[in-house]
Structure formats: C-alpha cells, structure tokens
Structure 1
Amino acid sequence: MDTNTTCCVAGGGPAGMVLGLLLARAGVDVVVLEKHGDFLRDFRGDTVHPSTLDVLDEAGLGARFAALPHRKIDRLTMVADDGERRLVDLRTLPGRHPYIAMVPQWDFLAMLAEEAARLPGFTLLMNAEATGLLRDGDRVAGVRYRDADGAEHRIRALLTVAADGRHSTLRRASGLRLREFGAPMDVAWFRMPRRDADRDDSFLRISAGRLMAVINRTSYWQMGYLLPKGGYERVRAAGAAELRRQVVDLLPFLADRIDGLDLDAVRVLDVRVDRLRRWHRPGLLCIGDAAHAMSPIGGVGINLAVQDAVAAANLLYEPLRRGAVTSGDLAAVQRRRARPTAVVQRVQIALQNLLVRPTLRGEQPGVLRLARTLPSLPVLPRLAARMVGYGPRPEHVRVPDDAAAARLRAPSA
C-alpha cells in the first residue's frame, strides 16, 4: 500500500511526537511511525527538565502534563563514603519550573499522542517499523515500513525525519557518517522496592570502583549501576549473589529486600556518545538520538531531543506548507542545534573523564575535591543548575496554532 503525506517521521519517541504535534498544529500533514504497539518500555529516560516543561507550557500542554503522576527533583546530591555533597540546586533557576519532573516516558508519550490525535493533520501508525528509504534520484522521497503482520508499505513524503533512536535504521540507510567519542561505561538498570522509611530524594552513590544512580520513583527505586564498558558479562559470570552483595555494600538500607534481585530483571544500556557530521540529505533530516547519542550523565537525552524537534518545527513549518523544503532549510536546523549538542556532549565527556573513569578504576575522582569547594563558590552551583535545567540554547515554540489545524476532531472521530 502506498500513501502520501507532507512529512513522515520515523520514531514515536519524544523528538518524533513533539515534532509531529507541532507541525500538525501549523496545518502540516504528518504521519508518525512507531514500531511498537505501545509506549511501555522499561528504562527509557524519564527526566523532563525545565527547558522541556517551558516548551509544554508554550504549546498549551503544561496543565495536562502537570496532571500526570510525577515527582519533582530540585537538588542533585552525591553520596560518597565520607559524606554527602550538593552538586546542583535547581531552586536557583528563574521561571516557573525550578525542578526536574520525573515522569514515566510512556505516560509522557501517551499524552503527546492523545493531544496530537485531536488535530486533523496528524496520523500515528503503531506497529509500523521503518525499514528503509524511498528515493527519487538523489532525493529521499519517503519511507518503507513493515506492519505487525509483516506486510510492507510505502509512504511518500516531501520530508522524511529520522527520529528512530541511536540505532537509527533510516540514518544507516542514508549513508550519513557518525563521529564517535566513546564511553567508558555501560549502565545496568534494575528496580528495588521502596519503603516509606527510606530517604526521599534521588542521588548518586559513589565509592571506590563503583557508581550507582538511585532514583526515587515513589513506589520503587530505579537503580542505574555504572560498570566498565562491556563489564556486565563479568557481573553475570559472578552471579546474582555477588551483585546483591555489591548493591548492599553501597546501599545498606536495601539489605531487607535484596533477595528479590535477580539477573533476569537487569537490563543493560550500551552507553554511546556520538553525533552526525551532517544531519541531513535532500528530503531527509535526522534529529534526537538519530543525530546524536547522549551519555546518560545529566539525564538530558529527552530534553535535547525535544529541543531538536522544536527547532525543526520552527524552521520547517513554512517551507512544508509551501511544499518546497530545500537543503538550506535542513542545514538551518543543524546550524541551530549542532553547537548546543556539541557543548553538552563535551561536558558529558569531561565528566566521564573526571568522575566515571577514575571511579571505575578504584581511584578518588577529582570531582569529589571540586564538590568540596562548591559551597564557597556559589556561582558554580548556579552555572551547573543552568546547564542541567536549560542547556546552552533552550528553544521556544514559534509555530503558529493554525486556525484550520486547531479545529479539534469531533469526539466520535
């Protein structure tokens, strides 16, 4: 089956859903392809930062988002063997949202999908896996996708957007080249039960040779155990008992519930830091993780992806409505977003070198010494809060709420 649309977006993650919603608001016909049948995947990023919360306000979705179950984090703490240190205090930020909202990504995406579905120009196809590109000479002319029954379909589009993640099928098909920066760690994700008597915050636990992110998800702890790159095979070989011993050694308060931890419940994130040298080809644009895979440091992945989507919508809605998107239009998106992406990645790489590498080698990282000086240098926590909360170039919604696109579908539609 062949269909036609103005913009086809591969990937129903934060970047793809925000871009599809904003373009549909501006009167552009959009089809978003999501390869899964729902948004329920464990261990997707769930940190929604002030920059994204501002975007939701500007798009008229702030109240809807606030109604989702979520926790607010306004301080980031490092717990070392010799005490605790405050790294970032988001309460110093100006604006309506001096905090990070921790919300399950599936709830966030479902909200975006429901809002976008009310716009007449928006179509979301679930169980639709992008498998390749259509071409018209040198120009990308659309997408091939496979449905849940294995049937092949084609969508022809004026613009195709690859928002299909760090292992992007469409990026690979395009031949665009990655610049890879490497990462010293992988992350083993698992859950532990949480009790009312436990501490209330989220924190980073650091000790010689070990790092653990401990995230309060109200009813459970989301644990992110940082391991040397490729090191999870050694964990598996040592067995669940050894993993339990290491977790309790770092976090003794979990001793009364550690017996439930099993290796089958552990999921491993292959940490990558990379970005495309060129984000586009004629008829094709890459955004989000498809353009730049981020380290989990700082939890900024969702927010960089959303910023890409907002910038792309701002710059491309008019060319899309005119029916002519040039390579110059696509290059403008890369110019807008490449520098802030590179700045954030440099900060992440610096923290990998200053914190992660020495810690995993069993050394005391220099970051601990720096953390001791932060109280006497109040400007540094404020700068850190600004970088974590907003990044170097926060985007704002400039897409009009077109009168035709704003007419909501009847409830029965």
Structure 2
Amino acid sequence: MKNIKTDVCIVGTGPSGALLGLLLAKQGHEVLLLEKFTNLERDYRGEILQPSTLQLLDQIDLLEYILEQPHKKIAQGGIHHKGKRIMEFKMDDISREYPYAIQMAQSTFIQALLKEAEKFPNFKMHFNSNVKTLLKDEDGQVIGVQGTIEKEPAEVFAKVTVGSDGRQSTIRREASFKEVNEHHRSNLIWFTIDWPSHLPHELMYMFTGKNNLFMIPKYPDKMQIGYTFTKEQQARVKENNYKEIKDLVIEQIPELKERVENSKQFVKLQVISLTLDHWASDGLVLVGDAAHVMTPIGVIGINVALADSIVAAEVITEALKEGDYSVNKLSEIEEKRKPEADELQRLQIKVESLIFTTNPVVSQLRPYLVQFMSKTPLVNILMKKFFFPVNQRKAG
C-alpha cells in the first residue's frame, strides 16, 4: 500500500480544486491533488467565465495568463418570445472594467491552472484516484483519505483535507455532513449542436409558450441547448427519442432543423440547490459544489467555487502556519463565503420559480412582465446582484 504524507490533500480537480492547489503551492505548502478520472477530457456544461470571475482572476494575478488560453468573448445576451427579442442585457452594464464574459473549454481552464501549479515542486497530482473513505485519529479528527491511486491501494496523510469533488461529493458523504435544505422542482435536458453562423455568440433564453429553452455558447463553435421541464414531465420528455424537444427547438429556430434532427446525445441535469449545516470539521473542509450545490441558473457556479478557493487558500495558509486544523479555524472559510453563496442560491430559486412555473396565468404573463422590466433600472440591479456579488463589485 502506498503511504503519502502532505500538508494539504485536495480531492477533486474541478476549477475550485485546481485553483486552490495552485494558490497553496505558491505559498510553499506541500499539496496533493487527487482526481478520480484519467484525464480532463469530458463533457462539461455552462463553460462560461462571468465578469465577476474575470475580476477574481485579476485580483490573484491570473487574468492575463488565462486570457492567453483559447477563448471567445461574450458581450451580451437576450431573452426572446415569439421570434422577437424582448430583453437585452449587456456585460458592460454589469461591469465597465470587465465588460464581457468568456467562453472557454473547462478542460482548458483547469489545465491552465494545473500547468501553473506544476511549476512548483511541492505540488503533486494523481489522476485515476478513487477516494473511498476518510482517515481519522483517535479523537475523530480527519487526517487524510484512503482509497486507490492508479489502481494501487493508498493512504494519504494530510494536515488539512479538502473536499472539492462536486455535487455528488464522496468527501461530504463520508464526513456525514448534514444536508439541511435541498430544493429540486425541475430538470434540464442538454444537447449540443454546431453553432449556426447567422446567430451571434451570446447567451439566449426563449419563452416558447410551452417548455422553455436555454442556448449557451460552447467553445469554440458549439451551441448547448437546454430544455426546461418539471419533475412531473420527466417520463414524457424521453418519448420518441426526445421528439418533443427537437420539435420545439425547430419551431423556434427553423434553420436548426438538420442539426437538431441529427442530435442523438441528450443529457439530463437535475436543477438542485443544496445547503449544508456546516462545511468543516477538525482537519477537513468543503468548497465549491461539495459545500453548496448551485443550480445551472445564471451559469455562476464556477465563479462561486473559485471565490471559495481564494478564501480557503488564505485560511488554510494561516492554519498551517499556526498548526491549528480545528473546526473553529477551518470554519472561517464558511463564515466568509456562506452568506454570499446562500444569497445567490435564494436568487437562483426565485428565478427558477418564474422560469419553471406551472401556473398557466403566470406562464402567459411572464414574457410581458420581463419585457416591462427591461425598460426599468431593475434589470441592471438584478443583473449586478446575480453576476457581480456585492463583495466583488468595484466602482468601475
């Protein structure tokens, strides 16, 4: 059996785990990052870095480097109804300093962070690592993880263990963190087609009078289409090879007919929001979706996770210097990050209740309400609150 000792063991190589590993390695700490998959090349959804994400990266001197990676800028988005654009939002109304979002393959983004981290000899990473359980001392403090690394049994002993392993977190389950608030009333079906040349690369949402549609750019030239439906409609949407979904997209944008009809890979995503009673225990802390599952609404999950990692790097660095790995110390991450995460989750749920309403009256009035709101300052206020949390905003 492999026996490895390190300062910090991070489980999960999403954006939050990769960034946290880099920031801790920069501080001179020994870091081991474990990833269960054999590589980063898999299908991701919502590969958008919002203006607030760009600001976070700028604050830690990574923005210029990240913008050197292959990407495209997104300057605006719109909401459509009956073939008309009823509302437009522009990124420069959210932030003049960061007047665009960028679409970048998530594998490219993560790999860029790992490439920087690998410059430090105190940073190590293993793919094909399956964490099965937590290691604890006689007092119940987490002191590492047990599982396999490249199919070989392994124990990793760490002063601090971090769960950044996403919405289905093994670390969260093994630590028995209590889930106190789960919200799940709806789902999405996603599929991907080539982006038609006549459409601008922007975020789009369509009120159809039936189930509604999201359209999100996927680098470099793909369109991810999301079809919204309630839990009660779940059995119906799979009928006839997702014919209902295909027909609705073609009805809204007839030019997509050939692309849509040839689509065969449809992926279901539960729209779940989840909060925990706490994020930390002695020797252990959760970040990102492991700590607070965000819904796909607004494509803000990456930003929230990265903000967690920046705070976590600061607190864990202090903990290592002080030799204090207690729940009280590691809970400082939760104290600093949970208020914003909770606020954004509440906002996502409110938006979701409007998008996924089954009330026929509200459903009919919804596009006209949005159109009216677009002519008031309320839209920009909501957009800034959603895409640029108050503790990240600058005067610009």
- Quick one: which amino acid aligns to residue 391 of structure 1? P
- Residue 120 of structure 2: aligned partner: 119
Deviation sequence 1:309-351 (CA, Å, 0-9, x none): 1111122212213433232211211111111111001101111
TM-score computed with the length of structure 2 as normaliser: 0.92
2:97 corresponds to: 96
Name structure 1 gaps, 5 residues minimum: 397-413
Q: Is 1:279 paired with 2:312?
A: no
Alpha-carbon distance between aligned partners in 2 of 1:29 and 1:285, rounded to the nearest angstrom: 17
**Matching residue of 1:364:** 363
Report the equivalent of 1:311. 311
Q: How does 1:294-333 map to 2 (within 5 A)?
A: 294-333=294-333
After TM superposition, the runs of 4+ consecutive aligned structure 1 residues lying more than 6 A away are none
Q: Which amino acid aligns with 2:376?
A: L
1:209 touches 1:362 (CA, 8 Å); kept in 2?
A: no
Residue by residue over 1:156-210, the C-alpha shift from the partner in whole angstroms, topping out at 9 and shown as x without a partner, is 1111111111111111111110123322221111111223223443301111221
In structure 1, distance between residues paired with 2:393 and 2:321: 21
C-alpha RMSD over aligned residues: 2.1
Q: Residue 366 of structure 1: CA displacement?
A: 5.3
- Secondary structure class of the residue paired with 1:292: coil
Give 1:10-409 correspondences, 5 Å limit: 10-81=11-82, 83-86=84-87, 88-136=89-137, 137-149=139-151, 151-217=152-218, 218-229=220-231, 231-262=233-264, 265-358=265-358, 364=363, 367-378=366-377, 380-394=378-392
C-alpha spacing 1:84/1:287, structure 2 compared with 1 (3 Å) = same
Q: Using a 3 Å threshold, how does the CA distance of structure 1 residues 45 and 216 change in structure 2: closer, same or farther?
A: closer
Q: How far apart are residue 97 of structure 1 and its match?
A: 1.4
Equivalents in 2 of 1:124, 1:44: separation in Å?
A: 24
What is the deviation of 1:389? Answer: 2.8
Sequence identity (%): 27
Structure 2 unaligned residues grouped into runs of 5+: none
Name the SS of the counterpart of 2:271 in structure 1.
coil
CA 1:261 to 1:376, structure 2 compared with 1: closer, same or farther past 3 Å? closer
**More moved, 313-322 vs 120-129:** 313-322
CA contact 2:83–2:252 (8 Å) conserved in 1: no
Q: Which amino acid in the other structure matches residue 323 of structure 1?
A: G
Aligned residues: 391
Q: Deviations over 1:248-274 (max 9, x none)?
A: 123222124333112xx1111122111
Work out the CA distance in 1 between the residues paired with 2:142 and 2:232.
37
CA contact (8 A) 1:100 1:389 kept: no
- Give the deviation of 1:87 after TM superposition: 5.1
Normalised by the size of structure 1, how large is the TM-score? 0.89
**1:395 to 1:92, Cα distance in 2 relative to 1, 3 A:** closer
Report the AA paired with residue 376 of structure 1. Answer: K
By how many angstroms is 1:230 displaced?
6.3
For 1:3, the equivalent position in structure 2 comes to 4
Report if the CA contact (8 A) 1:307-1:394 is conserved: no
User: For residue 140 of structure 1, what is the amino acid of its counterpart?
Assistant: V
